[in-house]
Amino acid sequence: MRFLLLMVISLVFLTGCTRAESHIKTYEYYITDGTPDVKVAHTELNDYSLKHGYVKNIEEEPCLCMFPILLYHAVLPHELYYPIHTTNPVIMEESIFLKQMTYLYVNGFTTLTSEQLITFLHEGVCVPPLSFVLTFDDGYLCNAVIVAPILRKFNFTAIQFLIGSEIPTTRQKLRPYPVMFMSLYDIIETKDVFEFVSHTFNLHYFIDETPALIASSIDDVITDLNKSLSGPLTTPYVFSFPFGAFNEEVIDILDKLGFLIAMAGNPGYVTRETMPFTLPRFDIVGGMEMYVFQSIVHAHDKKIHS
């Protein structure tokens, strides 16, 4: 089964090449003999990629450890998922998410915190076998209502990327449409399972088909990120690029503001050679088949357990 994604070339079994331009490139992600692979439709390397060491020779040194970062957005119960969200790739039906988390738990997987991810990248500190990082973008209310209880059941934790301007000050009731966001009350009540980090304050939109984070001036980006950091974040040094888009200027801003890692949109596995400000993630879409999910998470040892 093939999934068309909007991202950049990734060296799947070692580390990722990252996008140096602000526009989004297309490739096909698919499964070959039970193993994740990437078929490149178009790629272009430039001085930025070379300067920052984003292009790796896979024969330079062996990969000692690697694990996936999984990206979700929203999870809804059956009665709210059907029929209007069945074709929306960023929304997953609750039973599918529960099946995925059950599979990870039964097979001995362990979630990593942002602190563990940072020390692995910056200090080379080892992580447990069968580790993975669980992330949710945008801060939807359903993550507090539906996802949090499931994570508690399996003793999993996740990183929740908040859009600061979307956080309501009063409690909201979960409904199928329009999308609802976590309130301050929901954030406080789910700190036991979620780390809350920045997804910008109000730059999660497009300006003339270009992500606002890229299209905005440096001063506007700095102002927005500082405003985001003043919000209800539990971890102030982790960031996710809206729509996976970034450039050198944005990375420099993040570095100067004290961020330590940032999540991009390209698929691939985290290794000790992965660049901290362009971490790859696998987008776990709503209609993903279970065998595809298994193949992604089991890339550590290429084993599929029933």
Percent of the chain with pLDDT over 70: 76
Computed over every residue of the chain, the mean pLDDT equals 81
In the predicted model, is pLDDT for residue 206 greater than 80? yes
For residue range 105-127, what is the model confidence (pLDDT) as tens digits? 999 999 999 999 999 999 989 89
Q: How far is CA 234 from the centre of its chain?
A: 17
Domain at 67-300, CATH from 3.30.465.10, 3.40.50.2000, 3.90.1010.10, 3.20.20.370: 3.20.20.370
Rounded to the nearest 10 degrees, the angle between the axes of helix 94-106 and helix 290-297 is: 40
154-178 residue pLDDT tens: 999 999 999 999 999 899 999 988 8
Cβ neighbours, 10 Å, residue 49? 21
pLDDT at residue 303 in the model: 41
Please write the tens of the pLDDT for every residue from 70-79: 999 999 999 9
Question: What residues contact residue 223 under an 8 Å CB cut-off, 6+ apart?
Answer: none
Each domain of the chain, given as residue ranges in start order, spans 67-300
- Flag whether the pTM goes above 0.85: no
Token pair, residue 291, equals 């065998």
The pLDDT tens digits for 233-262 are 999 999 999 999 999 999 999 999 999 999
State the Cα–Cα distance between residues 29 and 1, nearest whole angstrom. 9
Residue 188's closest CA among 162, 212, 210?
A: 162
- Say whether pLDDT at 56 is over 90: no
Q: Can you say whether the dihedral through the CA atoms of 77, 80, 81, 85 is positive or negative?
A: negative
